Amino acid sequence: MTAASELYLGLISGTSADGIDAALVRFSGTGPHAGCQFVHALTRRWDDDLRAQLVHLGQGGDATSLDELGSLDVQIGHAFADAAQALLAAAAVAPDAVRAIGSHGQTVRHRPQARWPFTWQMGDGNVIAERTGITTVADFRRRDVAAGGHGAPLLPALHAALLHSPTETRAVLNLGGIANLTLLPPDGPVRGFDTGPANALLDAWCERHTGATYDDSGAFAAGGQVDARLLAILLDESWFALPPPKSSGREQFHLDWLQARLGALDRDARDVQATLVELTATSVASALLSNQPGTARVLVCGGGVHNPVLLARLRARLPGVVVESTAAHGVDPDFVEAMGFAWLARETLAGRPGNLPVVTGARGGRVLGAIHQA
């Protein structure tokens, strides 16, 4: 295998912590905009007890000890290694055929605007490299934060490489636990930022009231009505008024945040779910119309692409704009982020910056991640 055509493996568990996405990608060429061919992918579910710990930490909970955190970091590393090995087996690819793994890890806290800014993605890259025998690049976000950035979003450069049009103003919308936009004008700089909550709140409220870990096809929300008063209260959150660059996470938008705004009023759980859908649609549409009026097409990826109720509300909030899955353009919407961290690993090994300072707010381009040699 030559450097001009190499396999990379990307791993990520997003804000919703609903599973580890693993994707094999073949890159052709040597530059940052080389051809990117999707090879194979899968999602591996978390162990229920481990996921409960991740969700607890992600929405602002505390660990009981340093021992717990150290153990959790290693457990997550093993879970990511399991996902990588399962993908290799499913694709019938030998470990020595893969140039490197890019592992995002699991975000447990994101505080880029704290007095001492930090972001923390757990999942020990040493464990992944040792278990798989493949060089592993991990911990991508902290160098950008050290350079004054938010460490997020990191994938607008890949979105531009895969989905930019020279004749149409586009946006890529990732509906993960948190929603984020990449703005792709035909000419001019690529921009990107988080817009607010998406699946993290929807899933958490659904699980609390139905026991299901997500709202399958938006059926729970479809049974309710939007509460205009509650929507106004939720939209009054000061974070929405912040200008880009901006990022967020489950520690900002979680059930306690929601409960504080619900107060003691007794609202139907389905109405709250419908209102949370409207919150996502409204905050996305407002951010898009404010920052890139004239957008012709929004290409959607992430778990929210499977929620027809949410997509319908987005279309209603964006009249005249085509809202469609990235699948319509040959990019699997469920594995864009995993593909992105395969791409970022490639950029790191090539010694090229992986961030876009105009997106993250960093002082400049930086080579991201720590390299754990096989």
Query: CA–CA separation, 2 vs 201, rounded Å?
Result: 45
Beta strands 20-28; 98-111: pairing state: unpaired
What average pLDDT does the segment 327-331 reach? 93
Instruction: Round to whole Å and give the CA distance between 89 and 77.
Output: 18
191 with 320, same domain: the answer is: yes
- Percent of the chain residues topping a pLDDT of 70: 98
Q: Is 349 in the same domain as 224?
A: no
How many Å apart are CA 173 and CA 185, to the nearest integer?
14
pLDDT score of 36: 83
Return the CATH number at 26: 3.30.420.40
Please give the Cα distance from 230 to 237 (Å, whole number): 12
* pLDDT the model gives residue 271: 98
Whether the pLDDT of residue 335 is over 90: the answer is: yes
Task: Give the helix ranges, DSSP H, for the chain.
Answer: 48-58, 66-91, 125-132, 142-146, 156-163, 199-210, 219-222, 228-235, 255-262, 269-291, 308-317, 336-349, 357-360
Per-residue confidence (pLDDT) for residue 34, from 0 to 100: 67
What does the pLDDT look like over 228-280, one tens digit per residue?
A: 999 999 999 999 999 999 999 888 899 999 999 998 778 999 999 999 999 99
pLDDT of residue 4: 55
Average pLDDT (122-130) is 98
Q: pLDDT tier at 1 (50, 70, 90 boundaries)?
A: very low
Asked if the model's pLDDT at residue 127 lies above 70, the reply is yes
Q: How far is CA 15 from the centre of its chain?
A: 7
Is the pLDDT score of 35 beyond 90?
no
| Model pLDDT for residues 83-112, shown as the tens digit of each residue | 999 999 999 999 999 999 999 999 999 999
Q: Is residue 133 domain-shared with residue 36, that is, in the same domain? A: yes
91 and 35 assigned to the same domain: yes
pLDDT for 3 equals: 52
- Secondary structure (3-state) at 106: strand
Distance CA 123, CA 77 (A): 4
Do 126 and 253 belong to one domain?
A: no
Long-range contacts of 161-168 (CB under 8 A, 24+ apart): 161/32, 161/33, 161/36, 161/343, 162/36, 162/329, 162/331, 162/336, 163/299, 163/326, 163/329, 163/331, 164/190, 165/297, 168/296, 168/297
pLDDT of 287-316, one tens digit each?
Answer: 999 999 999 999 999 999 999 999 999 999
In percent, the amount of the chain with pLDDT more than 90 equals 88
pTM of the model: 0.91
Whether residues 243 and 216 share a domain: the answer is: yes
254 with 232, same domain? yes
User: Does 32 lie in the same domain as 19?
Assistant: yes
- 232 with 273, same domain? yes
Do 239 and 126 belong together in one domain? no
Question: What pLDDT score was predicted for residue 2?
Answer: 46
Domain total in the chain: 2
Same domain, 89 and 13: yes
Based on the fold, state whether residues 231 and 368 are members of the same structural domain: no
Mean pLDDT of 329-345: 95
pLDDT digits (tens, 9 = 90+) for 185-211: 999 999 999 999 999 999 999 999 999
Q: What's the DSSP call for residue 268?
A: -
pLDDT band at 58 (very low <50, low <70, confident <90, very high): confident
pLDDT score, position 33: 66
Helix (H) or strand (E) holding 370: strand 370-372
Q: d(Cα 37, Cα 279) in Å, to the nearest integer?
A: 35
- Checking if the pLDDT of 18 tops 90, the result is no
Domain containing residue 366:
5-152+333-372
pLDDT of residue 250: 83
